[in-house]
Amino acid sequence: MNCEVCQLKELEVEHFEIREVLRCILHTIVFHRALGLVRPKDVDLELFEITYVQCGVVELEKKIDEKIEHFVSWVEKHPNKKSQICISFYEVKSKPPSWFSNKTERLFWEQWYVNLNVTQHPKPHSGKSHHTKVVVDPGESASEERGSRRVALEVSLREVMFQIIKFVNEKKDHVPPISEGVIYFPHEITVPSSSDSAFGMDMIKRMLQTGHPTMLS
Amino acid sequence: MEMDRESGKSEQIVSQFRSKILHVILDSRVPSFHHHHQQQESFSLSRVRKTDKWFNLVLGHRPAALENLNFSLRNLLDPVIIDIILVQHGSSSSSVDNICTPSAAAAGFTETVIERWVVQYDCPRVVATPSGADTSGLYKKTYRKSIILLRSVYAQMRLLPAYRIFRQLSSLSQTYNFDLVYKVSSFCHPFTREEEHVMKEYSFVPVEALSGLLCVSVTYRTSLSDFNLEPLVSLPPKIITDYVGSPTTDPMRSFPSSEKGVRATSFPLIGVRPPSSAPLQRPHSWSSGFHRGFPFAQNQSLAGSPPAYSTSPMTYDVASPPSDMYGNRIQNPRLSTLQQVTARDEYQLSPPFSPSPSPSPPTYLSGANPLLSHHRSETAPVTIPRPITGRSSRYLSPNSSDTSRHSLPPLSPRSSKHYASSQESPSGIRSYRKIEALRAGESPSGLSNHYSVHKVVRDSKDDSGRFSGLLSSSGSPRIGFSRSSSRLSFQDDMDDCEFSCPFDVDDVDVSDSLNQTSQNVEGKKASEFTAQAVPVGKKSQDAAVGILVQMLRTAPPLRQDPSCYSTHSIRTEYEGGIGTASGFFMPRKTADALEELKSYREMKDLLVSKSGTQVVRKEEM
Residues 6+ apart with CB under 8 A from A54: A27, A31, A40, A41, A42, A43, A60, A61
Q: Answer whether A52 sits within 8 Å of B53, measured CB to CB.
A: no
Residue B549 binned pLDDT confidence (cut-offs 50, 70, 90): confident
Asked if B48 reaches chain A (Cβ–Cβ under 8 Å), the answer is yes
Chain B: closest CA distance from residue A80 (Å)? 30
Worst-scoring range by mean pLDDT, A139-143, A168-172, B55-59, B326-330? B326-330
Does the pLDDT of residue B74 top 90, yes or no? no
Task: Specify whether the CB–CB gap between B391 and B409 falls below 8 A.
Answer: no
User: B214: part of which helix (H) or strand (E)?
Assistant: strand B213-221
Give CA–CA dist B566/B554, Å, rounded: 13
pLDDT of residue A92: 87
Q: Which CATH architecture has domain A4-95+105-120+137-210?
A: 2-Layer Sandwich (3.30)
C-alpha distances (whole Å) from B287 to each of A95, B11, B247, B254, B261 are 84, 63, 10, 21, 17
Asked if B158 reaches chain A (Cβ–Cβ under 8 Å), the answer is yes
Q: What part of B 448-507 touches A (C-beta under 8 Å)?
A: none
DSSP state of B57: B
User: B109: part of which helix (H) or strand (E)?
Assistant: strand B109-122
Q: What part of B 170-229 touches A (C-beta under 8 Å)?
A: 204-205, 207
Residue A155: closest CA among chain B residues belongs to which residue? B159
CA atoms within 13 A on the CB side of A183: 15
Task: Specify whether the CB–CB gap between B47 and B102 falls below 8 A.
Answer: no
Worst-scoring range by mean pLDDT, A186-190, B189-193, B508-512? B508-512
Q: Answer whether A168 sits within 8 Å of B152, measured CB to CB.
A: yes
Task: Specify whether the CB–CB gap between B286 and B245 falls below 8 A.
Answer: yes
Q: Answer whether B164 sits within 8 Å of A170, measured CB to CB.
A: no
pLDDT of residue B125: 57
Of the two residues A76 and A99, the one the predictor is more confident about is A76
Q: Answer whether A32 sits within 8 Å of B156, measured CB to CB.
A: no
Q: Which of B407, B402, B400, B395 is nearest to B467 (CA)?
A: B407
* Chain A / chain B CB contacts < 8 angstroms: 70
User: B185: part of which helix (H) or strand (E)?
Assistant: strand B178-185
How do residues B264-314 score in pLDDT, each as one tens digit? 444 443 444 444 444 444 444 333 333 333 333 334 433 333 333 433 333
pLDDT of residue B158: 95
Does the pLDDT of residue B239 top 70, yes or no? yes
Residue A33: closest CA among chain B residues belongs to which residue? B148
pLDDT of residue B37: 60
Q: Answer whether B57 sits within 8 Å of A161, measured CB to CB.
A: no
Does the pLDDT of residue B488 top 60, yes or no? no
Which residues from B are below 8 Å from A32, CB to CB?
148, 151-152, 155
Q: Answer whether A169 sits within 8 Å of B147, measured CB to CB.
A: no
Worst-scoring range by mean pLDDT, A46-55, A174-183, A207-216, B442-451? B442-451
Which residues from A are below 8 Å from B57, CB to CB?
37-38, 40
Does the pLDDT of residue A18 top 60, yes or no? yes
How do residues A149-191 score in pLDDT, each as one tens digit? 899 999 999 999 999 999 999 999 999 988 888 888 999 999 8
Q: Answer whether A37 sits within 8 Å of B58, measured CB to CB.
A: yes
Question: What value does the mean pLDDT take over residues B233-247?
Answer: 71
Task: Specify whether the CB–CB gap between B211 and B10 falls below 8 A.
Answer: yes
Q: Answer whether B205 sits within 8 Å of A31, measured CB to CB.
A: no
**Helix axes of B507-521 and B426-441: crossing angle, nearest 10 degrees:** 120
pLDDT of residue A180: 80
Q: Answer whether B152 sits within 8 Å of A38, measured CB to CB.
A: no
Does the pLDDT of residue B404 top 50, yes or no? no
Grouping H, G, I as helix, E, B as strand and the rest as coil, residue B198 is: coil
ipTM of the predicted structure?
Answer: 0.84
pLDDT of residue A51: 95
Average pLDDT value over all residues in chain A: 83
Which residues from B are below 8 Å from A36, CB to CB?
56
Residue B224 binned pLDDT confidence (cut-offs 50, 70, 90): confident
Domains in chain B: boundaries: 1-90+108-128+135-221
pLDDT of residue B397: 43
pLDDT of residue B160: 94
Worst-scoring range by mean pLDDT, A181-190, B318-327, B340-349? B318-327
Asked if B598 reaches chain A (Cβ–Cβ under 8 Å), the answer is no
Q: Answer whether B163 sits within 8 Å of A51, measured CB to CB.
A: yes
Task: Specify whether the CB–CB gap between B123 and B106 falls below 8 A.
Answer: no
Average pLDDT value over all residues in chain B: 62
Give CA–CA dist A194/A188, Å, rounded: 18
Does the pLDDT of residue B35 top 50, yes or no? yes
pLDDT of residue B585: 52
Give CA–CA dist B460/B577, Å, rounded: 27
Asked if B151 reaches chain A (Cβ–Cβ under 8 Å), the answer is yes
Worst-scoring range by mean pLDDT, B186-195, B511-520, B537-546? B511-520
Highest mean pLDDT among B126-135, B199-208, B219-228: B199-208
Worst-scoring range by mean pLDDT, A75-84, B137-146, B240-249, B437-446? B437-446
Chain B: closest CA distance from residue A183 (Å)? 9
Q: Which of A27, A33, A25, A26 is nearest to A4 (CA)?
A: A33
pLDDT of residue A189: 93
pLDDT of residue B108: 76
Q: Chain centroid to CA B186: how far?
A: 47
Percent of chain B with pLDDT over 90: 15
For B106-116, letters b (16+ CB in 10 Å) and e give ebebbbbbbbb
Q: Which of A31, A120, A138, A37 is nearest to A80 (CA)?
A: A120
Highest mean pLDDT among A8-17, A123-132, B39-48: A8-17
CA atoms within 13 A on the CB side of B282: 24
Asked if B147 reaches chain A (Cβ–Cβ under 8 Å), the answer is yes
Of the two residues B153 and B420, the one the predictor is more confident about is B153
Give CA–CA dist B145/B155, Å, rounded: 15
Question: What value does the mean pLDDT take over residues A22-47?
Answer: 94
Asked if B318 reaches chain A (Cβ–Cβ under 8 Å), the answer is no
pLDDT of residue A106: 86
Give CA–CA dist B110/A164, Å, rounded: 36
pLDDT of residue B170: 85
Strand partners, A112: A6, A87
Question: What value does the mean pLDDT take over residues B217-229?
Answer: 86
Task: Specify whether the CB–CB gap between A91 and A107 falls below 8 A.
Answer: yes
Residues recorded for chain B? 621
Q: Answer whether A169 sits within 8 Å of B149, measured CB to CB.
A: yes
Kindly report the backbone phi and psi dihedral angles of residue A84, in degrees, each rounded to the nearest multiple of 5, phi listed first. -135, 145
Question: What value does the mean pLDDT take over residues B96-105?
Answer: 54
B156, B167, B207 ranked by CB distance to A165: nearest: B156
Of the two residues B63 and B501, the one the predictor is more confident about is B63
Does the model's pTM come out above 0.90? no
Which residues from B are below 8 Å from A162, CB to CB?
156, 159
Give CA–CA dist B115/B248, Å, rounded: 55
Does the pLDDT of residue B93 top 60, yes or no? no
pLDDT of residue B299: 40
Of the two residues A137 and B359, the one the predictor is more confident about is A137
pLDDT of residue B216: 95
Chain B: closest CA distance from residue A162 (Å)? 7
How do residues B5-23 score in pLDDT, each as one tens digit? 778 888 889 999 999 999 9
Q: Answer whether A32 sits within 8 Å of B152, measured CB to CB.
A: yes
Does the pLDDT of residue B350 top 60, yes or no? no
Domain B1-90+108-128+135-221 CATH (choose: 3.65.10.10, 3.30.900.10, 3.20.20.70, 3.90.230.10): 3.30.900.10
Residues 6+ apart with CB under 8 A from B320: B326, B327
Q: Region of B596 please: left (phi>0), alpha (psi -120 to 50) or beta.
A: alpha
Highest mean pLDDT among B117-121, B165-169, B358-362, B438-442: B117-121
Q: Answer whether A40 sits within 8 Å of B154, measured CB to CB.
A: yes
Q: Please measure the distance between the N-terminal and C-terminal CA atoms of chain B and give it in whole angstroms.
A: 146
Q: Chain centroid to CA B505: how far?
A: 33
Residue B403 binned pLDDT confidence (cut-offs 50, 70, 90): very low
C-alpha distances (whole Å) from A49 to each of A119, A144, B13, B65, B164 are 21, 18, 35, 31, 8
Q: Which of B357, B307, B359 is nearest to B336 (CA)?
A: B307
Mutation test of the interface with chain A: which of B55, B159, B215, choosing the one with the most A Cβ atoms within 10 A? Answer: B159
pLDDT of residue B370: 44
Kindly report the backbone phi and psi dihedral angles of residue B18, in degrees, each rounded to the nearest multiple of 5, phi listed first. -60, -40
Q: Which of B156, B142, B163, B184 is nearest to B55 (CA)?
A: B142
Does the pLDDT of residue B429 top 70, yes or no? no
pLDDT of residue A136: 54
DSSP state of B463: G
Residues 6+ apart with CB under 8 A from B523: B558
Of the two residues A45 and B89, the one the predictor is more confident about is A45
